[in-house]
Structure 1
Amino acid sequence: MPGYLERFDATPAAERWPLVRGWLFGEPLPFFAELRAHRPVLPTPEATLATRFADCAEILARPDLYSVALYRPKQGDYWMAQDDTAVHWREKGIMQAILDREDVPAIRAWVATTAAARLAAANGRIDAVAGLTRAVPIALVQEWFGFDDGDPDALCRWSYWNQMDAFWNQPFDAVAVPDPGEIVRQREAANAEMRDYLVALVRRRAAELQAGGTGRDPVSRLLRLAGSGAARFDPARVVLNVGGLLIGAVETTSHAVVNALDVLLADPQRRDAARAAAAADDPAAIDGFVFEAMRFRPAFPYFFRTCEADAVLARGTDHQTAVPKGTTVLAVTHAAMFDATAISAPERFDPGRGNGNTFHFGAGLHACLGRAIGGVMIPEIVRQALRLPELAVGPVDRRGGPVPEAWAWTWRV
């Protein structure tokens, strides 16, 4: 059978991107191996793919050259949709301080208790997406982020449509999205509901503080900062940033947990070793298995950027490639995490290798704000699942879309 690049070159230019996109999601590892070896920078009419570690690292480290301009129509003036701006640095710094890393051990213990309780209540049968991988991060948003009176279904819907529009409804996704405009409409409707809820929540927390309350949830702490005048951070920015906590917490966590578990359960040797680690007294014994599984199947195979000036990728190599201004560039970090120049024996599943030179939480200016929390929540949900006796799972149901939507599990009670 002809190789990927031979088939690519034989395909009319207008038909190449759908072909490449199908391989990117359907046959990623062999496709990426051929690209890294023979054409590590692959231009198509819709997007240019970079597949080697050095090029992906450069793209993510150069917001001056590779921007997040495609975020702006979806996220407005939220700081994550900005690059090297005062708003970005100020508000990211504020939110990093609000998400205290000192709380991470307590959060992990809480996730363990919450996930175990939900599985125990399920009595041996569950839709793992609705009942666990989305439900636990929603409960965390309620318990730790101050959304305690939020309706779980609404919280899930608001996160879902924002994630779907921002990350899976870009111009280069059009070949796989039947109705891009409907996703935009759903996101706008979700945001109108979420804004009403958040405004009411912020007003209620403000009234509690005025009455002498000492709330430690992020909303209360942000309001105290806004009221102090110590930073340019008014109640409207509180609403925007609190919404970002919700949007970032749910769907990406669910996707990562499902992918990691699917990889671990698919191979009997990996499964048995991971189950033994999950049964250990040390909760962190499972972590290496989970993050290595995420290397094999990350939630996001790439990060997209817009080239802001004529640029060059793979500079100084035989594969040096010009990238014109305005090009959509995909840093295909799934491929980069199998680059032997950055990862030792990349084809080997090695739970002891550590997270060096991986992109599980992005990299550079736009690395994930909640990486410390995600770094314990994801493996702890996996750990509790692997402790179920005689767990049997069906296929992950993505319902024709990019994210896990349902997953039927049974186990012995």
Structure 2
Amino acid sequence: MTTPLDLAFVRARFPAFAEPSLQGQAFFENAGGSYACAPVIARLDEYYRRLKLQPYYPTAASTEAGEWMDASYTRLAEYLGVPGDWLHLGPSTSQNSYVLAQAFGQWLQAGDEIVVTNQDHEANSGAWRRLATRGVRVREWQVEPDSGALHPEALWPLVNERTRLVAFTQCSNIVGAINPVAAITARLRAAGVLSVVDGVSYAPHGFPDLAALGADIYLFSLYKTFGPHLGLMALSPTLVQRLPNEGHFFNEGVLRKRLLPAGPDHAQIAAARGIAEYFDALDAHHHPGAAPAGRAGRVRQLLRGTELALLPPLLDYLAQRKDIRLIGPANAGERAATVSFLPLRQEPGAVVRALAARGVMAASGHFYALRLLQAMGLDPARGVVRLSFVHYTSAEDVQLLLRALDAVLGAD
């Protein structure tokens, strides 16, 4: 039985819900960035007031600053199901992906092959495609045009003895369908092929269990999982050592600096521990006395279970309208709470502006998935309307959205 979420408890831990300027509005653009939780904001505030200096020196404040940073890696790793030395925190997922691709570009040989998709955010596609200039053959795993779905059976004919890496997304930031990552990565590993999974659009909806997913490299953004503006990249120390050093030459022996050309953002890394502290509080409130060992799984269930209860009214409403094209599955169980549609009689941008006037914060555009829209026969310049929410969204927010959609879209 799914534990119901105590929404009042949750919202009390997100200062945005007490912000006067945000009152009376429903936030449906979480795919672009979530609200930050209170523990993250508190740690960032304290770090800037008390510990904003170079960390890891022997002075008391400097030592404590370094301890705060170390604790973030340790605590986040507990929820992700991997050792702390797998985690690398950089400015963004886009930059992490670019640096990673540059490292692979030196490691791969001319004639080696990689596979990318046309469903991904450009961060996990464009950086890899550029390796074609170095003699790497880039093959494209293409979506089904009507649905925008990636079908695994379309991948396997692209994989051969020359394939070294497959980069794909766990969940499209437009289609919303959840791809079967574990099954794909297991088959790739058996074939000796590395997997690079972009989890940015899935992570807020069920903080990932990286051990279960089995990706060799997994990336997502902490600012979309209630934290500071950082990108997290997880990969084993063994794989890091195989890749060329992208950092300063004198830091080559420091694994955490090999894929971080610039210095780390000390304050934001130190504050990232607040995500884990929020999850701790969430679990303790909903499962008092439960064993810590199952905490990560229980939190995932709270995040995902809450959204599954809220998705059907929105999907049902959009599916029955004949004046819009719903992008992605109409079944809540097959997707994350990122729902896009194309209005057939209005411009997406105009719909979003009209929703904003009615207290609904949404967005329109191609959301850096321009290749996906082209593959589906949609105009990237027009884009689509995107509605995205997470566990702190209320049933009342959804009803406000549906009333606003009725008013903006008009009679069907």
Pick the TM interval, shorter chain.
Answer: under 0.3
TM-score, scaled to structure 1? 0.25
More helix by share: 1
